[in-house]
Amino acid sequence: MQNLSTFKLIERISTIVRAEERKKYAALGLQPIHIQVLDYLSACNSYSNTAVGITEYFGLTKGTVSQTLQVLERKGYLEKEIDDEDARVTHLLLSKNGEKLLEEANHDDIFEQAQQAVLSKQYASLDDALKMTLFTLQKGCDVKSFGSCDSCINFNVEDNHYICTETNLPVWQIETHKICREHRFAA
């Protein structure tokens, strides 16, 4: 696989996860941020389960958070509760439907496969574990790998020249380290 930095690996993993979430929840009229907000609310304490907490955690504008919460409430995934001590504070709680949706989101087959792939082996470095996560997600989600020639099934050396068997054209050495939309893993 192309030698991506740790942050690039995380970015690519995140891109696949978000794209999968977008596809999955479009039918319910939801976007990834809606699931992320439910996830946050399921994990935070009672000082933090407010619109301000969400705004700070995700770095969103108040307007975006307000719209996000309206959608979640309208669809029955969220309930509001006024604070016992301070009536100006509104706590945001997952409804039964919200808990069910989040439970399903957290048990996605593809994401579990990726997790298993990482847990089933010891890795020499964080980057190796992230590469396995990315590889498993790309395979599971049928997403193009965008790797480079050194890990591609189409890469060949003939008479001391690099050849791409996909195109039957030579590959310049400088190009062999660059990402390619036609890349296919050897394994």
Site for ligand SF4, rule CB under 6 A: 148-149, 152, 154-155, 164, 166, 171, 180, 182-183
| Residue whose pair of structure tokens reads 């996605």 in the numeric block | 108
Instruction: State in angstroms the smallest separation of the CB of 173 from ligand SF4.
Output: 11
Q: 155-158 and 161-164 as β-strands: parallel, antiparallel, unpaired? A: antiparallel
What are the b/e assignments for 68-103, b being 16+ CB within 10 Å? bbebbeebebbeeeeeeeeeebebbebbeebeebbe
Q: Which is nearer to ligand SF4, 35 or 152 (CB)?
A: 152
Instruction: State in angstroms the smallest separation of the CB of 154 from ligand SF4.
Output: 4
Q: Which is nearer to ligand SF4, 73 or 166 (CB)?
A: 166
Q: 90-94 and 169-170 as β-strands: parallel, antiparallel, unpaired? A: unpaired
Q: Which is nearer to ligand SF4, 81 or 175 (CB)?
A: 175
Q: Which is nearer to ligand SF4, 102 or 179 (CB)?
A: 179
Instruction: State in angstroms the smallest separation of the CB of 180 from ligand SF4.
Output: 3
